[in-house]
Structure 1
Amino acid sequence: METLTKTSRRDFLKLGIAAGGGLVLSFNLSDSLAAIVKGNKSLAATVDFNSYLSISPDDVITIFSPNPELGQNIKTSFPMIVAEELDADWKKVKVVQAALDVKKYDRQLTGGSGAVPHSWERLRKAGATARQMLVDAAAKRWNVAASTLSTNNGFVIHTNGTKLSYGELATEAGSLPVPTDVKLKNPKDFKLIGTAVANVDNKEMITGKPLYGLDFYREGMLHAMIQRPASFGMKLKSVDATAVKSMPGIVDVVTFKNNVAIVGKSTWEIMKARKALKVAYEKDGNIESTSDHDRIFKELLDKPEATVRRKDGDVEAAFKNAATVIKREYQCPFLSHAPMEPMNFFAHVKADGVELVGPTQTPDRARNATATLLGIAPEKVTVELTRLGGGFGRRLQADYVVEAAELSKLINAPVKVTWSREDDMMGGSYRPAVRYRFEAALDSKGILIGYKLRGVGVNAGNSTREDNFLQVRWKIY
């Protein structure tokens, strides 16, 4: 049985016929949208939306995706979802990475495994709506009832066997009203969703095509690497860059805050120059220590004060009547996220604004942090997203982006800052440190009758939240 879903014009607005013909639909990929309508005599309304689904006369279906691609393969899964409801040849569906636009998107980020769950229904509706409009266009052309038509693999097919491709119908479909009620497939009828499909970027990745931030190159740009303190809680005391400045390919050595940046024509020349750099640091307050963290965590676990996250049943009675109680403690220190692609970002601070290019999970945070640092309006900062070679939470932060922008301003030139693996291990941001105490109450038969979990840690969120898990947040078919 098919699912009937109500689709409002808030979710779908027909933009009209694109230049050269074709069907263009917008579909809202965020929970709220304040559409900004601009006057346009050639169209009834031109609207800024969150994303667009377009079908061109040559049968190419394009989705502009706001979510950064970091290896979760939304560039493959998003087209599969749309193609499923559209009954299109999914290989003809492509995703184009959307640039940062906060007027269009209110969740233009990647984190917490939320890209597909967040966009699931809207992508399905986008495909189903486009399919219905194509069917209506074919029915109008052939002067037949829409009920006599079906779709399959990019074609609208009449019961007599006559068929038209989606590309042939796209222009006509673009002139029709957007349906308000569309039927979504029953999951048992899925052809693509749930199947193993190769990543659409596989060929580009294995042949070394420029996809990642580390691949990005702009004619005339400089490279830089930054020497940072070896420990948190230390500050720069002295710098001797005499030997470095005379080395091949080195353009400048810049000191700012606690950092010493070596600027040059290539990362290889900079890496060699770093070995000749002489820097000294001194203690500035307390040095961060894992042993201190462990001691503090143990002390906190023993204190009676705690926030109760969940309590089911009479736990105290279960432990009182237990035949056996087992107690164990486990801990995890601060650990580097260690994404496969080294940290990097390109920045060009100009008189009229800032251009940022690179791998970030949170482009809006990167933009706002850069604007704050430079004392300019966020609207003057543009962010272009590359594919990310992993993130794991490290690229949620904006430190490496802001650093590149600050250096670009200091040297008055476009620059890409690259981190070595050692740089990120020593001076990056880390996964949360935690310590947990588990207690299990067993009856005389060894059956679990009671359970306690007490934890302490440095974390941005509650790690025991139930809605962190996919099966709670998203219906599984």
Structure 2
Amino acid sequence: MSTPSIPFSRRNFLRTSSLASGGLLIGFNLFTACKSDVKPPVDLADLNYNDFNAFIKIAKNGAVTIFSPNPEIGQGVKTAMPMIIAEELDVAWDNVYVQQGVLDTKNYTRQIAGGSQSIRFGWDALRQTGATAKQMLVNAAAARWGVDASELSVSEGIITNKAGETLSYGDVVEEAAALEVPENVTLKEPKDYKIIGTDQRNVDIDKIITGQPLYGMDYKVEGMVYAAVLRPPAFGQELVSFDATEAKAIPGVIDVIQIGDKAKALLEKDKVNWTAQLSGSGKVVVLAKTTWDAFKGKKAIKATWSDATPLESTEFHDEKLNALLDGKDFVTMRKDGDVNKAFAQADKVLERTYESPFLPHNCMEPMNFFAHVTDEKIHLVGPVQTPEDAANTVAELLGRDVADIHLEMTRMGGGFGRRLYGDFVYEAAEISDAIRKPVKMVSSREDDMSTGVYRPSIKYRIKAAIKDGQLTGYQLKEAAINGNMYGLIPNFFPAGAVENYQVDVANYKSNITTGAWRAPYTNFLAYAEQSFFDELAEEMEVDKIKLRLDLLEKVKGTTDERIEYSPERMQKVIKMAVDKSGWGKQPQGTYQGFVAYYCHNTHVAEVADVVIEKGLPVVKKVTCVVDCGIVINPLGALNQIEGGIVDGIGHSMYGSFGFENGQPTAKNFDKYRLGRMKDAAAVETYLVQNELSPTGLGEPTLPPAGGAVANALKAATGKRVYKQPFIEQEELWQAKQEEILG
């Protein structure tokens, strides 16, 4: 809910009047003009903005320039965050321009793209920034006219007094710069919003469609060389020796060097933070005039690698996960009541195991980064989701002060968690440090898929106790390769709804690098749990929707502060999805599957409509209801919702990936199938309207999609799928084809 009057934190607010062009500089992110006839201000390169992570600059000509500090990976924060400021600043969105800020840990916190948290964490501070700037400008106008500020009104950057006289923001900006920052500001009520809640297109869309430089791959400077890195072909191997004779003979190849010593030293000192996937092995680097020359040179390297024991394979991982599920080496993350007693006293016990493979990230833009290391500074430019961690690790890696580092963020051609890990940044920095030239490290598609960071392979075992027709016990076990990042989320549904409830985790430590993959820890869990709930309802002989609603009813009024979801909000999206999807009323031959799920602070319900064509499943439509609080940009929200669903369906249906002797079984899209255009289902979206603070949207609709499809497949075939990808469950489709053929 909007707060009419809110104290302002000076730590989040910065102003100065020392710019060469004059004006007011206010900490945060956006670039806008106040009047329709105002053009963008002078070349931004002439403004001294590098000392600030994010700010509004109001120039004497009435223009307002706002820089965005958060990384943009396609989730739309570069549009939505400025909209929040522009709303409270009271300027016309049609005249808003947005510029990407640089890393600046002094003046800004949480410059991260991850966890669908940017809007949620920025909501209050962004509003405060816009409202405070507006109040200072109004106070300056009031002082000039000799009236009380409360007598003035503002609309689209124009201040008006009771006599009808007007001043633009630019007219009073110098007076405003001399005023004290107000201790309290009044924020708008949602009913008064003019920008928030309206459809606004991506602020970079014109540059994207006209091919203007925005991405890391676009960045180049005079004298820059290109680098391709030859890494160990199998996880667990280390470099023994290499012969670069043929590579150096290729036209365009400048030199071949080895790196890795600095990374190995850092690992030995245990100075690597959670985002650093540094290899302790040596790596061979080909330096060339073009990327193509570097790639050709890399293929010509003759390298010898030592073998690790064991070189892991999919069968090996399968055995390890099964052993973990059957063993006792679990860490209990939550324990309510006594599940063992509940199972012993149950009339029925239902137990199922669900399996998922490793998955690569497959960002459209391959990993790349620019680095130029000199004695004076370290200049870094490129696409990274965690710029602060990247800068800190580079400082440790090269033995430099982090103050020496200037890091600029570019727009990213996909992140999905892969660019949380700065290995490509560290490689570029170490290469430049060795050659003391500006360098762009560029990976190929094969590099990304075969030497990357993967969603871990996981197995879930879920067990439920039924007594007198009621769910009396529930136990969830996770076995994962390297652990599932944060482990399970033990306080999500059905936590609080079952008296005897336990969540346990175990992991096998592997040489294969794993980490966050879009909607980490829930991307597969949602399918497993929601498939289990459907089967549980069948076992209990109750309606699937009613089972979920009844369990949520038990959570209402809970005093358990650990519970993260809202039973009321979850019930609302469930009922709305049932209504909007025509649940149970579809024509013969259309099979429906239902899922309700909470993650990343957002409540979602989805219904998938599946048909069988030529004996194989086709997802025709998904009806999705989302409660994410106040929706900043409905158009951007729909893009995120639909993209998450399409992504979730594609990977659960087709995503097959594993390892053989430490090497991935697929190294490019000839052997790894993504969801294709023809596989994309129609998505019908409904947003719950309320005035609650906004929550995440980049990830929450992906996890439920797989579960909705799996439950629809059960309706279509009469059989359940317990393993992803679904399309590989050949016995299921063979039986259906035989049925169709009669």
Rounded to whole Å, the distance in 2 between the matches of 1:367 and 1:13 is 23
Partner of 1:470: 601
Cα distance, 1:350 vs structure 2? 1.9
Which residue number corresponds to residue 460 of structure 1? 485
Select the residue among 150, 159, 162 that pairs with 2:153. Answer: 150
Alpha-carbon deviations, 1:260-315, whole Å to 9, x = none?
Answer: 22211111222334443333433133323333222222222222453332345665
Q: Distance in 1 between matches of 2:11 and 2:358?
A: 44
Q: In 2 relative to 1, CA 179–200 (structure 1 residues): closer, same or farther, beyond 3 Å?
A: same
Which residue of 321, 329, 332 maps to 2:356?
Answer: 332
| Other-structure match for 2:419 | 395
Q: Which residue matches 1:187?
A: 190
Q: 1: distance between equivalents of 2:10 and 2:287? A: 52
Q: 1:369 to 1:18 in 2, by over 3 A?
A: closer
Distance 1:403 1:461, change over 3 A: same
TM-score relative to the length of structure 1: 0.86
Matches for 1:8-407 after TM superposition, within 5 Å: 8-12=9-13, 14-16=15-17, 18-26=19-27, 51-257=54-260, 258-312=282-336, 315=339, 319=343, 322-407=346-431
Matching residue of 2:526: none
Change (3 A) 1:412 1:13: closer
Q: Match of 1:271, as an amino acid?
A: F
Between 1:155-164 and 1:190-199, the stretch displaced more is 155-164
Residue 77 (structure 1) shift? 1.1
Q: TM-score, normalised by structure 2?
A: 0.57
What's the Cα RMSD here? 2.8
* Whole-angstrom distance in 2 between the partners of 1:174 and 1:256: 51
Q: Which amino acid aligns with 2:422?
A: A
Do the aligned residues in 2 keep the contact of 1:59 with 1:92 (CA within 8 Å)? no
**1:380/1:173 CA distance change after superposition, 3 Å:** closer
From the superposition, tell whether residues 399 and 10 of structure 1 become closer, same or farther in structure 2 (CA, over 3 Å): closer
2:484 aligned partner, one-letter code: N
Deviation of the 1:61 alpha carbon: 2.2
* CA distance 1:343–1:197, change in 2 (3 Å): same
User: For structure 2, which runs of at least 5 residues remain unmatched after alignment?
Assistant: 30-50, 261-281, 492-563, 565-598, 604-627, 630-691, 695-742
Shift of 1:127: 0.9
Return closer, same or farther for 1:442/1:465 CA change in 2, 3 Å cut-off: closer
- Residue 405 of structure 1 aligns to which amino acid in structure 2? A
Residue equivalent to 2:570: none
Paired residues of 2:60 and 2:171 also in contact (CA < 8 A): yes
Moved more, 339-348 or 2-11: 2-11
How many residues are treated as equivalent by the alignment? 457
User: 2:302 & 2:123 partners in 1: Cα distance?
Assistant: 54
| CA distance in structure 1 between the aligned counterparts of 2:442 and 2:319, rounded to whole angstroms | 35
Asked if structure 1 preserves the Cα contact closer than 8 Å seen for 2:462 and 2:477, the reply is: yes
Any unmatched runs of 5+ in structure 1?
29-47
Corresponding residue number in structure 2 for 1:4: 5
- Following superposition, the deviation at residue 95 of structure 1 comes to 3.6
Alpha-carbon deviation of 1:373?
2.3
Tell me by how many angstroms 1:316 deviates: 5.2
State the SS of the aligned residue for 1:112: coil
- Displacement of 1:416 in angstroms is 0.7
Say whether the 8 Å CA contact 1:54–1:63 is kept in structure 2: yes
Sequence identity of aligned pairs in percent? 47
How far 1:91 sits from its partner (Å)?
3.5
- Alpha carbons of 1:98 and 1:309: their partners in 2 closer, same or farther (altered >3 Å)? same
Q: Residue 437 of structure 1 aligns to a residue in which SS?
A: strand
Q: Which moved more, 1:385-394 or 1:169-178?
A: 169-178
Higher relative contact order (CA 8 A, sep 6+): 1
The structure richer in strand per residue is: 1
- Rounded to whole Å, the distance in 2 between the matches of 1:350 and 1:366 is 18
Q: Which amino acid aligns with 2:479?
A: V
Q: Is the 8 A contact 2:53 2:105 kept in 1?
A: no
Distance in 2, matches of 1:11 and 1:228, equals: 43
For 1:291-344, what per-residue CA distance to the aligned partner results, in whole angstroms no more than 9, with x for missing partners? 322222222222245333234566556545655433221233332222221100
State how far apart, in whole Å, the 1-side matches of 2:133 and 2:187 are.
12
Counterpart for residue 534 of structure 2: none
Q: Which residue of 2 aligns with 1:38?
A: none
Q: 1:240, 1:117 → 2: CA distance? A: 52
Give the Cα–Cα distance (whole angstroms) in 1 for the partners of residues 96 and 289 of structure 2: 39
Give the partner amino acid of 1:4.
S
Q: Using a 3 Å threshold, how does the CA distance of structure 1 residues 250 and 305 change in structure 2: closer, same or farther?
A: closer
